[in-house]
Chain A
Amino acid sequence: MADTTAASLDATRANYVALTRQRRLYGGIMLLVFVLLMASGFGIANDRNAGGFLPGLPQMFDFPAEVIAEAWTKRANLPGHIAKALPALIETLNIAAIATISGALGAILLSMLATQGLAPWPRLIPVFRRIMDLMRAIPEIVIALVLIFVLGGGPVPAAIAIGFHTVGALGKLFSEVNENADLKPLEGLSSVGATWGQRMMLGLVPQVAPNWFSYALLRFEINIRASAILGFVGAGGIGYELKNAISWGQGKFDEAAAVFILLFLTIVVFDQMSSYIRNHLTYGSVKGARK
């Protein structure tokens, strides 16, 4: 701050203006590239689609309108169809639940093995991290299709596929939670001769369980969607019902409508429920800390 003469101020200003101009130029170029990428990408996708975007646009509401019209004229059948699709919905929810539970248990173990300060073998931390990355990278559909080939169609391939992916996805989030845990209780426990299992159970779990639970709940919601989608490629549950109802075509759209309604309501209900519980968890713990 020694030199504040007019000349140096001018120089600073010139520098600043040049810098701003350069940044603006870079920003503009990046924006231009992005817009070009979007436009050309859209063009390519449009060309390779069976039907184009513009001719398809007016027809967008034809199919929903058809389904709704047919469901409305046969609205008396709707409760019956919903009752018929209910077991399939329960299967979809079971797939998501068992995959989330087993995935979360696997993720708890892996995340402990992959967190600095908790890991019993610190040298193997990178190995466990790579394992989690790999489990996260394999799309569910790949495992599901392979397992359908071996085990035959049904809920088990979907549950295994989603559970496998869940281990990787939750493992990463859990290990981030673990990193923020206070290590002092663990030191205290080890000073009285606790084993690794006891230290984790008594020192770590009480600290991080609410956060784990919150992430697992979020994952459960995602897994419901995944399990519905996998049903569509032959892994049982409501997706399979939907596929059948749709491929029967006209005359059976009331069944499709029933499945649509059921799936929509399920996703909305679990979405709202999990966000309510998660808000409650974070809010509740803050209140508890203030008390």
Chain B
Amino acid sequence: MSLAAAPQTRDMRARATALIARKRLIGLALPALILAYCAYVFFAFDILGLAQRARWDNAVTLVSDTYSYKTVVERNNRSGVFEVAVEGERKGTYDETNMPGWVVLAEDSAHITLDNGGSIDINGDLVRFDVPGYGVIEATQSRSAGVTTNLDPEALPDWVSLSKTRLMVSTDAARLTLTKARTEVFVYDFGWELFFFTLESPYYDHSFGEILFGDRIDPARSNLTGAWQDFWNNAIWRHGDTAWALFETVLMAFLGTFGAAIVALPLAFLAARNFAPLKVVRMAARRLFDFLRGVDGLIWTILLSRAFGPGPMTGALAMLFTDTGSFGKLFSEALENVDGKQIEGIASTGAKPLQRYRFGVIPQIVPVLLSQVLYFLESNTRSATIIGAITGGGIGLLLTQAMITQKDWEEVSYYIILVVLLVMAMDSFSGWLRRKLIKGE
């Protein structure tokens, strides 16, 4: 068959060419459209202004706090009293018995030895900071003259800031601040120092081996129980409270998800075409689901916390309301896909309606429903952290509180790690349960 001989073929060819041209146009137009939208968002979100407003020093603090802690050596320049504390916290203050080795306190003086070979001497109102590779910075303060140093104010290195009332020297190993009110030295070290035991605990500064196999440290308690009590009630890291918060988050997700499933199941029958012959009932049930879903979890949280106050139950109820809508829709779709032959078979043995549902319908839909419920359980664990931040319960609240105070970023990173581990654990747990219950592996 030659091409010229068949006008039909030519027609087809023309149509094909047109089709390909159109598709090519779409293929080009779609990326162009997305690109144009991105450009619009670029200006709508003011990305250029954002780059200026961003505070990268905050990011640096956050990152350095995740793997290090700082110890504060402070002299109150009015009273002349010295204090050495982890993170500057009252609960982490050292006394004569457990002073770290790198700081030596004497009568109105302190000698600090730094890891990089440098040292800081505080002697009354005088401070000497020996910076390796630079030299000695000497500074003093007095009520009348303010801060005076041996530095040339015209040629300051960029890690020193100096004014009449304040000197700040920031090096990698330590940071020195001198004002009329106080002389402060921040020394950075690797790790989270008081994570296991606070300074009051007799188990502080003992290794695990000593606690497990060594002599009894606290005469009143056995090592294991004592160490566990001090760890669990750690006043700074508050492990016990954190564990409770994690539990609360899981509890919210559990109650919300399964509560919603229990409420949604009977309602779903009313919304399924093959079980509710009355169109009015069906429509009413479906609109109810749409409404529950449409009023977002956020709005439910706000409305319910007015009635029930903040707490985990409010969060659980908010999730229950939203998910009843989602489950209702999903379940009724599953019910509409049920095979009628099994129900007929049960009916032919003379079963009553309830028995028909129990043996004809439930076994068919249980695997579908269960797998959906378990998917929701995992995603609700994530939602529970957010809802908890709003309604005041669980790990979400601890996380936002730690962030708002902007003080202890190592706690923030600790909570973040816990949240991620929790969600991953719930993910694998629900996956395991799904395989176990549905596939029977």
A59 touches B399 (CB 8 A): no
Q: Which listed residue, A98, A141, A229, touches B296 by the CB 8 Å rule? A: A229
Q: How far is the CA of A49 from the CA of B301 in the complex (A)?
A: 13
Stretch at the interface among B199-207, B271-279, B306-314: B306-314
| Interface contact A41-B308, CB-CB below 8 Å | no
Cα distance, A38 to B297, chains bound together (Å): 21
* Residue B56 interfacial (CB < 8 Å): yes
What residues of chain B lie closer than 8 Å to A9, measured between beta carbons? Answer: none
Of A60-68, A113-121, A280-288, which stretch is located at the interface? A60-68
Contact of A45 among B34, B45, B312, B399 (CB under 8 A): B312
- Shortest Cβ distance from B29 into chain A, in angstroms? 15
Q: A-side binding surface: helix, strand, loop or mixed?
A: helix
Q: Are B251 and A44 in contact (CB under 8 A)?
A: yes
Query: Contact check: which of A63, A134, A239, A242 meets B307 at CB < 8 Å?
Result: A63
Contact flags A123-166 to B (C-beta < 8 A → 1, else 0): 00000000001101111111001100111101110010000000
Q: Which of B78-86, B189-197, B208-216, B382-390 contacts A (4 or more CB under 8 A)?
A: B382-390
A228 at the interface (CB under 8 A from B): yes
The smallest beta-carbon distance between A248 and chain B, in angstroms, is: 13
CA of A57 to CA of B317, assembled, Å: 12
User: Nearest residue in A to B406 (C-beta to C-beta)?
Assistant: A149
Complex contacts, B406 vs chain A, CB 8 Å: 149
Q: Is A46 an interface residue (CB 8 A)?
A: yes
**CB atoms of A48 and B393 under 8 A apart:** yes
What chain B residues lie within 8 Å of A263 (beta carbons)?
Answer: 296, 298-299
Q: Which residues of A contact B55 (CB under 8 A)?
A: 150-152
* Residues of A with C-beta under 8 A to B255: 38, 41-42, 45
Min CB–CB distance B418 → chain A (angstroms): 11
Asked if B430 is at the interface (CB within 8 A of a chain A CB), the reply is no
Q: Which of B106-114, B153-161, B217-225, B419-427 participates in binding chain A?
A: B419-427
Residue of A nearest to B296 (CB): A225
Question: Is the pair B62, A225 in contact by a Cβ cutoff of 8 Å?
Answer: no
Q: Binary interface profile of B, 367-396, with partner A (CB < 8 Å = 1, else 0)?
A: 000000000000000100110011011001
Q: How far is the CA of A34 from the CA of B437 in the complex (A)?
A: 14
The segment out of A74-82, A177-185, A264-272 that lies at the interface is: A264-272
How far is A38 from B255 in the complex, measured between Cα atoms in Å?
A: 7
Q: A101-B37, A141-B385 are in contact. Are A228 and B296 (CB under 8 A)?
A: yes
What residues of A have a CB within 8 angstroms of the CB of B53 in the complex? Answer: 151-152
Q: Is the CB of B296 within 8 A of A45?
A: no
Q: A41-B251, A41-B254 are in contact. Are A49 and B310 (CB under 8 A)?
A: yes
Known: A149-B58, A152-B53, A271-B290. A232 touches B248 (CB 8 A): no
Q: Which of A59, A137, A155 contacts B420 (CB 8 A)?
A: A137
Query: Quick check: B424 and A133 within 8 Å, CB to CB?
Result: yes
CB closest chain-A residue, reference B396: A141
Q: Does B50 contact A (CB under 8 A)?
A: yes
Bound complex: CA of A145 vs CA of B423, how far in Å?
18
Within 8 Å of chain B (Cβ to Cβ): is A50? Answer: yes
User: Is B340 an interface residue, CB under 8 A from the partner?
Assistant: no
A56 on interface, CB distance cutoff 8 Å = yes
Contact for A246 among B252, B259, B296, B302, CB less than 8 A: B302
A42 touches B290 (CB 8 A): no
Contact residues in A for B50 (Cβ distance below 8 Å): 151-152, 154, 156
Q: A137-B420, A139-B382, A225-B297 are in contact. Are A45 and B311 (CB under 8 A)?
A: yes
Contact B399 A101 (CB under 8 A): no
Would you give the shortest CB distance from B384 to chain A, in whole angstroms? 9
Q: Which of B248, B297, B308, B393 is the one whose CB lies under 8 Å from A53? A: B308
Q: What is the number of contacts between chain A and chain B, taking CB atoms within 8 Å?
A: 179
Contact (A141, B310) CB under 8 Å given A94-B41, A150-B55, A150-B62: no
Complex CA distance for A63 and B308, rounded to whole angstroms: 11
Check: A97 CB closer than 8 A to any chain B CB: yes
Q: Is B3's CB within 8 Å of the partner chain A?
A: no
Count residues of chain B with CB under 8 A from any CB of chain A: 63
A136–B423 alpha-carbon span in the complex (Å): 9
Question: Is there a chain A Cβ closer than 8 Å to B266's Cβ?
Answer: no
Complex interface bits, B83-99 against A, C-beta within 8 A gives 1, otherwise 0: 00000000000000000
Are A151 and B54 closer than 8 Å at their CB atoms? yes
Report how far A93 CA is from B302 CA in the complex, Å.
21
B105 within 8 Å of A (CB atoms): no
- What residues of chain B lie closer than 8 Å to A271, measured between beta carbons? 290, 293-294
Query: Would you call A91 an interface residue if the criterion is a C-beta within 8 Å of the partner chain's C-beta atoms?
Result: yes
- Interface residue B149 (Cβ < 8 Å from any Cβ of A): no
Q: CB of A260 within 8 A of chain B?
A: yes
- Given the known inter-chain contacts A45-B316, A156-B50, please indicate yes or no for A267 contacting B296, CB distance below 8 A: yes
CA of A45 to CA of B258, assembled, Å: 14
Partner of B258, one of A38, A49, A152: A38
Set of chain B residues within 8 Å of A189, measured between Cβ atoms: none
User: How far is B302's CA from A63's CA once the two chains are assembled, in angstroms?
Assistant: 10
Q: Is A208 an interface residue (CB 8 A)?
A: no
Interface residues of B in 36-61 (CB under 8 A from A): 37-38, 41, 44-47, 50, 53-56, 58-59
CB-based contact B427/A133 at 8 Å: yes
A51 within 8 A of partner (CB): yes
Within 8 A of B (CB), among A218-246: 225, 228-230, 232-233, 239, 242, 246
B259 touches A150 (CB 8 A): no
- Taking a contact as CB atoms under 8 Å apart, the answer to whether A56 and B308 are in contact is yes
B400 CB-CB contact with A under 8 Å = yes
Question: Are A51 and B45 in contact, with the CB atoms below 8 A?
Answer: no
B393 contacts across to A, CB distance below 8 A = 48-49
- Provide 14 A-B residue pairs closer than 8 Å at the C-beta atoms, listed in order of the A residue: A51-B308, A98-B41, A137-B423, A137-B424, A139-B419, A142-B385, A142-B399, A145-B400, A149-B406, A151-B55, A159-B45, A229-B296, A233-B400, A267-B294
User: Top 9 A-B pairs ranked by shortest CB distance?
Assistant: A49-B311, A50-B309, A51-B309, A63-B306, A56-B308, A45-B313, A49-B313, A268-B294, A137-B423
Interface residues of B (CB under 8 A from A): 34, 37-38, 41, 44-47, 50, 53-56, 58-59, 62, 248, 251-252, 254-255, 258-259, 290, 293-299, 302-304, 306-314, 316, 382, 385-386, 389-390, 392-393, 396, 399-400, 403, 406, 412, 416, 419-420, 423-424, 427
Interface residues of A, Cβ cutoff 8 Å to B: 34, 37-38, 41-42, 44-46, 48-53, 56-57, 59-60, 62-64, 91, 94, 97-98, 101, 133-134, 136-142, 145-146, 149-152, 154-156, 159, 225, 228-230, 232-233, 239, 242, 246, 260, 263-264, 267-268, 271
